């Protein structure tokens, strides 16, 4: 952290315009009046990333509200979720979505949520203490591709995630899982979906 790092309060979602970057400069964001960080739906996200935008170098403190939302292609680099709220990040509309570096902790249920066809890559990212590392919208049949490259997952029941779509694929390499608490395997779905 730089000597000038500060805590910044948000009272509404910050919309990162299409094609631009929000650099948090190591600051910590605190949400006020945007949700309690519990499992209630309808909380607001800290950030909405419009298409081809980037969020970087920022810490998100409790309450974790509804995390951060992708709308189209987007990048979250060196974003630290200090206490995941309802979920960590959500893909709201399709694109190539990228989450790299830093970490997320304490998801009561899900870390990532995919509500639209997408390709999501987690790269050198650590997720600790949750149930599902990525969840494709329950009952949906659109195709997602989820890649985990050099990630760590700790204290999790579904280390690479859950889908109900037979065309969705999970790929992983150099992944470290510790304190795995599930009984089905690293993912929930068909064995042919993981490679």
Which residues would be at the binding site for ligand DGU (CB under 6 A)?
A: 41, 86-87, 90, 113, 115, 137-138
With 0-12 CB in 10 A as exposed, 13-18 as middle and 19+ as buried, what is 56?
middle
CB of 126 to ligand DGU, least distance (A): 22
The binder of 158, among Ca ion, ligand DGU, none, by C-beta within 5 to 8 A per type, is none
How far lies 44's CA from each of 78, 110, 138, in Å? 21, 16, 21
CB of 195 to ligand DGU, least distance (A): 26
Q: Which is nearer to ligand DGU, 80 or 90 (CB)?
A: 90
Q: Which is nearer to Ca ion, 87 or 158 (CB)?
A: 87
* Contact assessment for residue 97 and residue 55, using Cβ atoms and an 8 Å cutoff: no
CB of 113 to Ca ion, least distance (A): 6
C-alpha torsion angle, residues 23, 29, 32, 37 (rounded to 10): 110
Contacts with 127 (C-beta within 8 Å, 6 or more apart), sequence order: 88, 103, 104, 105, 107, 111, 133, 151, 152, 153, 154, 156
* Contact assessment for residue 187 and residue 161, using Cβ atoms and an 8 Å cutoff: yes
**Which residues contact Ca ion (rule: CB under 5 A)?**
66, 83-84, 86-87, 106
The binder of 83, among Ca ion, ligand DGU, none, by C-beta within 5 to 8 A per type, is Ca ion
Q: Which is nearer to ligand DGU, 15 or 137 (CB)?
A: 137
The binder of 106, among Ca ion, ligand DGU, none, by C-beta within 5 to 8 A per type, is Ca ion
């Amino acid at each position: 952290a730089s000597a000038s790092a500060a805590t910044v309060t948000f009272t509404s979602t910050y919309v990162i315009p299409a094609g631009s970057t929000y650099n948090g400069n190591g600051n910590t964001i605190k949400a006020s009046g945007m949700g309690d960080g519990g499992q209630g739906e309808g909380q607001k996200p800290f950030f909405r990333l419009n298409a081809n935008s980037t969020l970087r170098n920022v810490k998100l403190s409790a309450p974790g509200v509804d995390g951060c939302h992708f709308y189209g292609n987007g990048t979250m680099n060196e974003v630290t979720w200090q206490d995941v709220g309802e979920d960590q990040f959500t893909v709201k509309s399709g694109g190539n979505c990228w989450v790299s570096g830093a970490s997320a902790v304490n998801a009561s249920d899900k870390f990532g949520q995919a509500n639209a066809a997408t390709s999501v890559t987690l790269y050198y990212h650590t997720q600790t203490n949750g149930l599902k590392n990525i969840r494709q919208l329950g009952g949906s049949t659109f195709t997602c591709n989820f890649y985990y490259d050099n990630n760590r997952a700790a204290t999790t029941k579904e280390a690479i995630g859950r889908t109900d779509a037979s065309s969705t694929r999970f790929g992983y390499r150099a992944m470290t899982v510790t304190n795995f608490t599930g009984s089905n395997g690293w993912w929930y779905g068909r064995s042919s979906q993981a490679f």
